[in-house]
Amino acid sequence: PKPIFLKDYRAPDYLFDKVNLTFELGEDYTTVTSSILVRPSHSGGSPPLILDGAEPKDLELVNVKVNGKALQTGDFERSQKKLTIVSPPAEAYTLEIETKIQPQNNTALEGLYKTSGNFCTQCEAEGFRRITFYQDRPDVMARYTVRIEGDAARYPVLLSNGNLAEQGDLEGGRHYAVWEDPFVKPCYLFALVAGQLTHTEDKFVTMSGKEVTLRIYVQEHNKDKTAYAMRSLQAAMKWDEDTFGREYDLDLFNIVAVDDFNMGAMENKSLNIFNSRLVLATPETATDGDYTSIEGVVGHEYFHNWTGNRVTCRDWFQLSLKEGLTVYRDQEFTSDMTSRAVTRIGDVQRLRMAQFPEDAGPMAHPVRPQSYIKMDNFYTLTVYEKGAEVVRMYETLLGKAGFRKGMDLYFERHDGQAVTCDDFLAAMRDANGADLGTFPLWYQQAGTPRLSITTHYDEAAKTFTLTTKQEVPPSAGQPVKQPMLLPVTVGLLGPDGADLPLSSVNGRPLAGPDGAAPTSTVLRVDQAEQTFTFDNIPARPVPSLLRNFSAPVRLTSDVTDEQLIFLLAHDSDPFNRWEAAQTLARKLMLDLVGKAQKGDTLQLAPAFVAALKDVLTDAALDKAFIARAISLPSQSELADMMAVADPDAIHAVHKFVTRTIAAELRAELQHAVDSNRTRDAYSPDTASKARRALKNTALGYLASLNEADITDMALADFRSSTNMTDQLAALAALAVNPGEARDTALAEFYEQWKGDGLVMNKWLGIQAASSLPGNVAHVRSLLEHPAFDMKNPNKVYALVGGFASAAVNFHARDGSGYEFLAEQVLKLDKINAQVASRMVSAFTRWRRYDDDRQSKAKAQLERIVRTEGLSENVYEIVSKSLE
């Protein structure tokens, strides 16, 4: 397999102005006729037209015509993955291609495939080439008309992008529909859905008074589960108008929920297709987390209509242009709909837990990658989440109003175009006349910058100085890197805990929006080493650094444990209050890991427990914030911070610290559980979710004590719960400790929910991710369970992915976890390479472990890479891991 490079980008030789597609849906095969109006993009010569296509086994070529005349052998060449029109006309012409495909046998779930008996599509990134031959690249944008013909009884619903232009009956019990999309689009945004579906309908009146019909299509038995997704869609439409002045541009917006889907959802123009787990929700079947995800992802896909569809990417290296920006937009949407501080905490936690390790591993790549073998492997946390951080840094540097100006200019300049990350940067810069300095390096350099800050207070001069040092660590192919512009938001707390006014830094006066000295300021850190001196600081302050996580860096500083406890109690930036507790916990726990490795007795600092107690019992705090603030850093975060990760020691320390806190704060935790139970009907509003979050976090702590009365309480809660959030939290608490209560609860849960596939994924997930010793055997047995299906991505993510996320068992000393994963990857690779490649990614961090584990993991990676007929997807991840 050969990599593709950003530096090799060339504009296409041919433009496609108009595309007419006809689908004749059938049981044995589906015929696709594509008629394209082709135009040379530049005058002079007519080079061969090279079209992308899947391998012959997945895409059968029936015939090719130019201006109505069938081409003869020699006029065209069909190779493994291309169709070449050898000497096409020099003027505009019509190219007609007929292909045959078998969606019913398509287990890769890209292109046109069947799910629960219905047809659906997934074309991003390069799935359209499994439907027909095409210039399958995002900078080829065309207007589409789509005609779908199929059996009327089997496929009563026929959908594609845009507006329904025509429909009617055909002979032989068949019928047809014609859809016209007035907007130009790249083929990755094409969609088709056909099948037995029912829909719920509502409407939205746009800011200019246009009425839009909103429909959510589901299988009949799920009709009662779409209300929250519908509400979320309406909220998202309103939010994008209020926040960015973006209005919806068609009369119809459809969402379709399907059970078999590789990713979360897809933003096809006016016909979004969703993994059903991100649409369907009732209080009994969906958790608070599910509700939050539904709102966020429905928003995300809707927001793509402007950031992705109206303005799209020139090439796939620019993916973060639409994804980083749209993740930023959905994060802001969630912040406005729920709690800003808690949303930010969750987003940063995710970044740190999953993106930081990616950025430190063999797959590290810049937000704009420079090469790839398989684009599907680059829908990464770096492109999405770090990409969103990059967008957020523009906002921090330019201010909210400045950021909005940049967005307005971006849309004004590029509506209807396929553009690059540089175009986005230029719009932000030009709209604000801003000096963005070395900021463009964020698109070029991989790796998480390390920022260290030391402080000095000069009693006599009344100045406080921060010395910053930044370094971007080397990564594959990038041994030496330059310092980048980091916006570092800083505040200084006085002895009473209140923010000090910041009157000047480095002699430059500061003024807030009202002209008065601000209490927070953004430092432009862009050198390897710099100093920032604040004047008129009457007493030694406690610095609050990197407020709101203003740049995605690994920060170390000389802030002491006592100062962290002070910040936890007083910081006006709620993110940094949480961060103070996390920083302290990380420090204490890493220290304990060292002790555990030496076999020393473990002790938890009483000041830490006391600080957590203060938070837990502070009635003035948001309960969701308390839940986050008392939660420990994840085991993977700790592993990521160690020179040689030791999953057993980390697990032991995590357990020890959890139990110690539970024992010391038992009364307070019990109170948090008791006082936050409610008999009210379930509601997914922010305050209710916060109550449940606190209650269930406290329950998790108590469960670690493994005492009979707590187990009884959890079992009673499990049985009496009226919503999935509480039921699943109780089940998770019971599942921590082996024994009868665990077995009983799992069995009861199965009996209650075996008819609901989505709920069964939660049941699989809890068992898969268990840290009970020897769990690999149990997970192996679940592979054979009727609740599991290797062809369904959600089930694979729950069982196989869940297993790989539980470090102690995945990294079991005997290598059984590695062997298990390798086996599943090889099986999966034959079914669905994208899913296999996501699963094999658990191996990428293998070099972070001890020699013995390394050699066992390496043996499995070598076994995989040696396998005949391996997909490019898995090959890329494994070969890069072995480099």
Which C-beta is closer to ligand B3K: that of 253 or that of 578? 253
CA dihedral 590→596→601→607, nearest 10 degrees, is: 10
State the helix-helix crossing angle for 872-882 and 851-865, rounded to 10 degrees: 150
Least spacing, CB of residue 180 vs ligand B3K, in Å: 23
User: In the set 114, 300, 628, 848, which binds ligand B3K (CB under 6 A)?
Assistant: 300
- Tokens in use for 501? 């006014």
CA distance 23 to 182: 19
* 291 lines the binding site for ligand B3K (CB under 6 A): no
State the helix-helix crossing angle for 227-244 and 288-303, rounded to 10 degrees: 50
Which C-beta is closer to Zn ion: that of 185 or that of 628? 185
Nearest to 731 by CA among 694, 759, 689, 773: 759
Which C-beta is closer to Zn ion: that of 115 or that of 326? 326
- DSSP conformation class of 518: P
* 323 lines the binding site for ligand B3K (CB under 6 A): yes
Burial 620-631 (b: 16+ CB within 10 A, else e): ebbbbbbbbbbb
User: In the set 16, 93, 113, 379, which binds ligand B3K (CB under 6 A)?
Assistant: 379
Q: Are 466 and 490 in contact (CB under 8 A)?
A: yes
Residues 316-335 that bind Zn ion (CB under 5 A): 323, 326
Residue 259 binding target from ligand B3K, Zn ion, none, CB below 5 to 8 Å by type:
none
Strands 142-151 and 14-24: parallel
List, in order, residues 6 or more apart from 18 with CB less than 8 Å away.
36, 37, 142, 143, 145
Nearest to 21 by CA among 175, 168, 151, 134: 134
Least spacing, CB of residue 873 vs ligand B3K, in Å: 10
Which C-beta is closer to ligand B3K: that of 239 or that of 379? 379
User: In the set 376, 579, 622, 726, which binds ligand B3K (CB under 6 A)?
Assistant: 376
Least spacing, CB of residue 53 vs ligand B3K, in Å: 18
Least spacing, CB of residue 307 vs Zn ion, in Å: 9
Least spacing, CB of residue 206 vs Zn ion, in Å: 22
Residues 284-323 that bind Zn ion (CB under 5 A): 323
Which C-beta is closer to ligand B3K: that of 127 or that of 483? 127
Residue 158 phi/psi, 5° resolution? Answer: -125, 115
Alpha-carbon separation of residue 318 from 14, 346, 364, 424, 443 (angstroms): 21, 26, 16, 10, 10
Which C-beta is closer to ligand B3K: that of 263 or that of 363? 263
Alpha-carbon separation of residue 395 from 230, 242, 407 (angstroms): 30, 17, 10
Alpha-carbon separation of residue 170 from 25, 26, 597 (angstroms): 13, 14, 74
Residue 376 binding target from Zn ion, ligand B3K, none, CB below 5 to 8 Å by type:
ligand B3K
Residue 125 binding target from Zn ion, ligand B3K, none, CB below 5 to 8 Å by type:
ligand B3K
Which one of 98, 149, 295, 301 is the catalytic residue?
301
Q: Is 631 helix (H, G, I), strand (E, B) or coil?
A: coil
Please count the residues of this chain forming the interface with ligand B3K, following the rule CB under 6 A.
12
301 is catalytic: yes
Q: Which string of x and - marks every residue 239-278 that binds ligand B3K (by CB under 6 A)?
A: ------------------------x-xxx-----------
Which C-beta is closer to ligand B3K: that of 96 or that of 332? 332
Give me the amino acid identity at 207.
Answer: M
Least spacing, CB of residue 389 vs Zn ion, in Å: 15
Q: Which string of x and - marks every residue 98-137 that binds ligand B3K (by CB under 6 A)?
A: --------------------------xx------------
Closest residue to ligand B3K in the complex (CB) = 124
Q: Candidates 63-71, 298-306, 391-399, 857-865 — which segment interacts with ligand B3K by CB under 6 A? A: 298-306
How far is C-alpha 85 from the chain's CA centre? 39
Alpha-carbon separation of residue 606 from 564, 630, 637, 646 (angstroms): 14, 14, 23, 25
Give, rounded to a whole angstrom, the gap between the first and last alpha carbons of the chain. Answer: 15
Q: Which string of x and - marks every residue 861-880 that binds ligand B3K (by CB under 6 A)?
A: --------------------
Which C-beta is closer to ligand B3K: that of 300 or that of 329? 300
Binding site for Zn ion (CB under 5 A): 323, 326
Would you please indicate which residues are annotated as catalytic (active-site) residues? 301
Binding site for ligand B3K (CB under 6 A): 124-125, 263, 265-267, 300-301, 304, 323, 376, 379
